[in-house]
């Protein structure tokens, strides 16, 4: 199967096509850039390096009171990495709130390639045997890059986010990159920082190796692990520093 081509458009009339692979993609994330498509129907990709970057500080994650109640009700069965491609396809679905998405066939192929290498993960919400929501992202060192989320049932993606943060905190991650800041993410404590500050945080996070736990330890409350509520401390950091 031919690798997709990535379109780079520098200053000037030239367009350069470069074959893109999962390995190149990981190097791009390490450099602080990521690919997108104009739409799901557009086969070409382009690099994005925002001047202002959205992140969720893992020590400042906020779970709104209503969502705490939803999480405690255990309405969904939470699984990780059991239906990665299905989660991506769910994120690629159009809806009334999101009529157009940027996840095209090339994005799907590349990120499933990362998943097969253990460099991407999904958090899934299941209800009565059906996948009803979730999210996926890329894991590199001590950084996790959230890519997209979806819900077919109210609050499913929000619950998935709580479970993601619980796992990142327990696994010793340092950065949760959301790419951009939106009002939706701001309610969870997301902030916007400069490109320069982001690159400093990313550089430090890449000096660690986070461990993505598919399951939390027995007895660990997800709310306590995610946001330190219910009086529970976060799980032990498992990241190891790669350099002295």
Within 20-174, strands assigned E span 34-36, 46-48, 52-55, 77-80, 120-127, 130-140, 143-151
- CA 184 from chain centre, in angstroms, equals 15
CA distance readout (Å), 6 to 78, 129, 148: 35, 38, 20
pLDDT of 25-69, one tens digit each?
A: 999 999 999 999 888 888 888 999 999 999 999 999 999 999 999
CA distance readout (Å), 5 to 17, 22, 24, 105, 126: 6, 12, 12, 12, 35
Q: Which of 75, 55, 22 is nearest to 195 (CA)?
A: 55
Instruction: Examine the pLDDT at 77 and tell me if it is beyond 80.
Output: yes
Instruction: Examine the pLDDT at 151 and tell me if it is beyond 90.
Output: yes
For 180, the token pair is 């951009």
Write down how long the chain is: 244
């Amino acid at each position: 199967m031919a690798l997709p081509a990535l379109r780079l458009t520098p200053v000037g009339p030239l367009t350069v096509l470069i074959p893109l692979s999962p390995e190149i993609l990981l190097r791009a994330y390490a450099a602080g850039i990521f690919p997108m498509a104009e739409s799901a129907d557009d086969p070409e990709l382009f690099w994005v390096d925002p001047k202002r970057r959205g992140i969720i500080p893992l020590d400042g994650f906020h779970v709104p009171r209503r969502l705490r109640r939803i999480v405690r009700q255990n309405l969904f069965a939470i699984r990780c990495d059991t239906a990665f491609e299905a989660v991506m396809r769910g994120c690629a679905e159009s809806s009334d709130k999101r009529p157009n998405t940027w996840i095209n066939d090339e994005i799907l192929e590349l990120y499933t390639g990362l998943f097969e290498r253990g460099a991407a993960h999904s958090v899934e919400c299941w209800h009565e045997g059906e996948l009803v929501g979730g999210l996926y992202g890329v894991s590199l060192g001590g950084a996790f890059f959230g890519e997209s989320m979806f819900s077919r049932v109210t609050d499913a993606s929000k619950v998935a986010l709580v479970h993601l943060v619980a796992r990142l905190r327990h696994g010793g991650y340092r950065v949760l990159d959301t790419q951009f800041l939106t009002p939706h993410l701001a309610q969870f404590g997301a902030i916007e920082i400069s490109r320069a500050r982001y690159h400093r945080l990313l550089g430090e996070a890449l000096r660690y190796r986070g461990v993505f736990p598919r399951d939390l330890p027995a007895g660990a409350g997800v709310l306590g692990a995610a946001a330190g509520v219910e009086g529970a401390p976060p799980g032990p950091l498992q990241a190891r520093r790669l350099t002295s």
